[in-house]
């Protein structure tokens, strides 16, 4: 993570061998680059999968030929690997199509499948969701989780989005101006460097995990019980299983009030305390603690001023059920 221009993409390109670099880059069992020792493995020998932000599919090849591009020639092992990545990323129906006819989300899945088909030892993902709108992000994330958990391929993931980091990563590396500013467990680094990680143009989603149950409130609504007992009313799709689930809600969809809320249509209303305010020139992210949950609300600078929002202030949060999106 890190602000624009911090060197995130350059770092990935250096690891992939697509950019000249000096220093030392090693993966368990092999040194990829060691300027002092004169080692510089060419990109094609590094076995590192690279998924750029804009997919970069080969426009002259079908989806199938894109995925097969780096696949070792024929043989039953190659066929199995091909079937596995096509299955995990659910691109079977797309195979005969050309990239120009795919949506942004489909392209990213194909780019991911193409990289996985080479059985890389490490996957580099450069803001794979940045080009997608918020609704689509929620649909791609489960595929990334499957790659991580089913194929057991480690990845380095560049993002501006704290929610994605919390959901996907074990550790985070925070860059600024080409240097490592902080590294460590995701929660710790994000808590200590909140402002550094926020790109005003990127959404800073609220992520909640818990156990999903069908609710007595009626069809299409479920109850998500968080580990410490807060219950959120969320939309449910009949095709998704109940049980362990993760939902996100965009900070734009979190409303704040300085008076108790009554007679409001939003079904999730909680009383909380402002924990902090990250100010930007025209807007702000307000952090609110309510029971066991931490919320982030995206407000204009004017609202923050008019409501007198400052740490310690008592507020009420309101979120519509339909504002929640299921991540898994």
Cβ atoms of residues 91 and 114 within 8 Å: no
Q: What is the DSSP string of 229-283?
A: S-EEEEE--TTS-SEEEEEEE-GGG-EEESS---S-S-SEEEEEEEEEEEE-SSE
Q: Which is nearer to another protein, 44 or 237 (CB)?
A: 44
Single residue of 76, 96, 100, 218 touching another protein by CB under 8 A: 100
User: Residue 216 CB, nearest distance to another protein (Å)?
Assistant: 51
Instruction: Tell me which stretch binds another protein (CB under 8 A): 38-46, 156-164, 191-199, 228-236.
Output: 38-46
**Does the protein bind another protein through residue 99 (CB under 8 A)?**
yes
> Minimum distance from CB of 43 to another protein (Å)?
4
- Closest contact distance (angstroms) between CB of 47 and another protein is 7
Report the alpha-carbon distance of residue 168 to residue 179 in Å, rounded: 23
- Min dist. Cβ of residue 25 to another protein (A): 14
Residue in 3, 40, 41, 47 binding another protein, rule: CB under 8 A: 47
Give the position of tokens 């690279």. 50
Does residue 52 touch another protein according to CB under 8 A? yes
Largest CA distance in the chain: 71
Q: Show contacts with another protein in window 117-156 (CB under 8 A).
A: 118
Q: What character string, x for contact with another protein (CB under 8 A) and - otherwise, covers 105-124?
A: ---------xx--x------
Choose between 18 and 307: whose C-beta lies nearer to another protein: 18
CB of 86 to another protein, least distance (A): 16
What's the CA gap between 60 and 63, in Å, rounded?
A: 10
How many Cβ atoms are within 10 Å of 195's Cβ, its own excluded? 11
Q: Structure tokens of 243?
A: 């049980």
* Contacts with 78 (C-beta within 8 Å, 6 or more apart), sequence order: 71, 72
Question: What whole-number distance in Å separates Cα of residue 68 and Cα of residue 56?
Answer: 15
The answer to whether 321 and 267 are in contact (CB under 8 A) is yes
Binding residue count for another protein, defined by CB under 8 A: 26
Q: Which is nearer to another protein, 38 or 42 (CB)?
A: 42
Nearer to another protein, 71 or 167 (CB): 71
* CB-neighbour burial class of residue 296 (10 A; exposed 0-12, middle 13-18, buried 19+): buried
Which stretch, 16-24, 187-195, 212-220, 299-307, contacts another protein (CB under 8 A)? Answer: 16-24
Closest CB to another protein among residues 48, 175: 48
CB 213 within 8 A of CB 225: yes
CA distance 143 to 51: 14
Cα 71 to Cα 75, 249, 284, distances in angstroms: 10, 38, 47
Instruction: Figure out which of the listed residues 23, 38, 42, 229 binds another protein, where binding follows CB under 8 A.
Output: 42
Q: Is residue 224 within 8 Å of 245, Cβ to Cβ? A: yes
**Three-state DSSP class for residue 36:** helix
Nearer to another protein, 154 or 187 (CB): 154
Q: Which of residues 56-75 bind another protein (CB under 8 A)?
A: 56, 58-60, 69-70
Q: Is 21 in the site for another protein (CB under 8 A)?
A: no
- Given the complex with another protein, which of 36 and 100 has the nearer CB atom? 100
Residue 11 is a binding residue for another protein (CB under 8 A): no
Where along the sequence are the contacts to another protein (CB under 8 A)? Answer: 13, 16-18, 42-50, 52, 56, 58-60, 69-70, 98-100, 114-115, 118
């Amino acid at each position: 993570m890190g602000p624009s221009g911090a060197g995130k993409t350059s770092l990935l390109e250096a690891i992939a061998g697509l950019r000249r670099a000096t220093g030392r880059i090693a993966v368990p069992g092999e040194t990829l680059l060691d300027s002092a020792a004169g080692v510089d493995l060419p990109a094609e020998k590094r076995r590192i999968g690279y998924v750029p932000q804009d997919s970069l599919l080969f426009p002259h090849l079908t989806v199938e030929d894109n995925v097969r591009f780096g696949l070792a020639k024929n043989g039953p092992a190659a066929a199995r690997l091909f079937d596995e990545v096509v299955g995990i990323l659910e691109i079977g129906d797309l195979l005969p199509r050309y990239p120009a006819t795919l949506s942004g989300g489909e392209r990213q899945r194909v780019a991911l499948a193409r990289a996985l088909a080479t059985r890389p030892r490490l996957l580099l993902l450069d803001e794979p969701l940045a080009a997608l709108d918020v609704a689509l992000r929620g649909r791609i994330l489960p595929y990334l989780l499957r790659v991580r958990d089913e194929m057991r391929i480690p990845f380095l993931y560049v993002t501006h989005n704290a929610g994605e980091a919390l959901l996907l990563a074990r550790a985070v590396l925070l860059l600024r101006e080409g240097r490592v500013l902080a590294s460590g467990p995701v929660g710790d680094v994000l808590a200590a460097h909140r402002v550094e990680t926020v790109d005003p143009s990127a959404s800073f989603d609220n992520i909640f995990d818990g156990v999903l149950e069908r609710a007595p409130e009626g069809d299409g609504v479920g109850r998500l019980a968080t580990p410490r007992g807060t219950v959120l009313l969320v939309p449910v799709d009949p095709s998704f299983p109940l049980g362990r689930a993760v939902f996100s809600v965009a900070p734009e969809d979190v409303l704040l009030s300085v008076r108790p809320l009554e007679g409001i249509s939003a079904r999730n209303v909680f009383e909380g305390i402002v924990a902090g305010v990250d100010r930007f020139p025209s807007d702000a992210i307000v952090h609110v603690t309510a029971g066991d949950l931490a919320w982030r609300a995206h407000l204009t600078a004017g609202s923050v001023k008019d409501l007198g929002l400052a740490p310690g202030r008592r507020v009420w949060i309101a979120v519509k059920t339909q504002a929640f999106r299921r991540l898994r």
